[in-house]
Amino acid sequence: MKRGWQRGLIELRQSFTNGPELFSHFLWPVLMLVALFFLRHRDFGSSGLLLGALALPSILGMNAAMGMVSMSQQLTADREDGTLLRAKAIPNGMVCYLVGKVVSVAGGLLVDLLILLVPGLLLVDGLAVGSAHWFTLVWVLLLGLVATLPIGAILGSVFTSARSQGLIQLPMLGVIAISGIFYPLTALPGWLAFIGQLTPVYWMGLGMRSALLPPEAVAVEVGHSWRHLETAGVLSLWAIAGLLLAPVVLRRMARRESGSKIAERRERALQRIA
């Protein structure tokens, strides 16, 4: 655990000291801030609420949930280049690797959220900020990370190459579209709203909205309630499922890894480049 923590901090520091990764940390928050700029004065129907105020906490929840995609991308890349095989060859190497990856992904994600949240609070009107609101924000964020990062590890174990892992982007865009991120879930057809509520993305967005929006904003939510108990329950179920399944899937994946398979994947990659 100690070595994994140190590994994660090293990877986190490296991600903020090289140009391409630093650019990726700022790109998505800046794009979202541009969208908020154009939404900040638009009303949501006759509710009297600003669409920008509804969108900011939802985007925070979406970004936190997208940590599973970052986790799967990094795990797939490390599997392809042999990093996981080397980790398997040393005592407690897989544990060290997983702890380090969770620390680096979660740390980078938290910084990305701050890059979006701090300017967003200054840009968007109609937000409620207080000690109780910050407490809700913290527990939703931490529980959401525990719920989504193990899922990302599972997804990263399924794909054998970074190229095939890119296929996950399409269903994730679909999940975001029906999760009430950019528009309240009550505006969607009932069957789509039901599917959206099965995903952790919706519940993280709902929890963030309950933390940052005034009490009257609950009128546009499903059931006219923030549903804190349901949020904690659904995210906990996702967390338990991920924590139970991820070690099993990763161990099975590591047993199937070998030097010959890595060489074969490298040869295929070189052929595509050629």
Q: How many helices (H) and strands (E) does the chain have?
A: 13, 0
Looking at per-residue confidence, does 119 or 273 come out higher?
Answer: 119
**10: confidence class by pLDDT, cuts 50, 70, 90:** very high
- Ramachandran region, residue 256 (left: φ > 0; alpha: ψ -120 to 50; beta: rest): alpha
Question: What pLDDT sits at residue 274?
Answer: 53
CA angle 114, 157, 77 (to 5 degrees): 65
Residue 249 burial by CB count (10 A; 0-12/13-18/19+): exposed, middle or buried?
Answer: middle
State how far the Cα of 3 lies from the Cα of 76, in Å rounded to an integer.
21
Most confident segment among 74-88, 99-113, 206-220, 245-259 = 99-113
Question: What pLDDT sits at residue 234?
Answer: 93
For the chain, what is the mean pLDDT?
Answer: 82
Question: What pLDDT sits at residue 178?
Answer: 84
Mean pLDDT score, 233-257: 84
Q: Which domain holds residue 198?
A: 1-271
- For residue 252 the two structure tokens come to 């099975």
Note whether 58 and 208 are within 8 A (CB).
yes
Q: What is the pLDDT of residues 155-165, one digit of tens each?
A: 887 776 666 66
**262: confidence class by pLDDT, cuts 50, 70, 90:** low
Residue 273 has pLDDT above 70, yes or no: no
Angle between helix 131-158 and helix 200-212 axes, rounded to 10 deg: 160
List CB contacts of 246: < 8 A, sequence separation 6 or more: 150, 151, 153, 154
Specify the number of domains making up the chain.
Answer: 1
pTM: 0.83
**258: confidence class by pLDDT, cuts 50, 70, 90:** low
Say how many residues make up the chain: 274
Three-state DSSP class for residue 118:
helix
Looking at per-residue confidence, does 19 or 251 come out higher?
Answer: 19
Question: What pLDDT sits at residue 94?
Answer: 78
Question: What pLDDT sits at residue 167?
Answer: 74
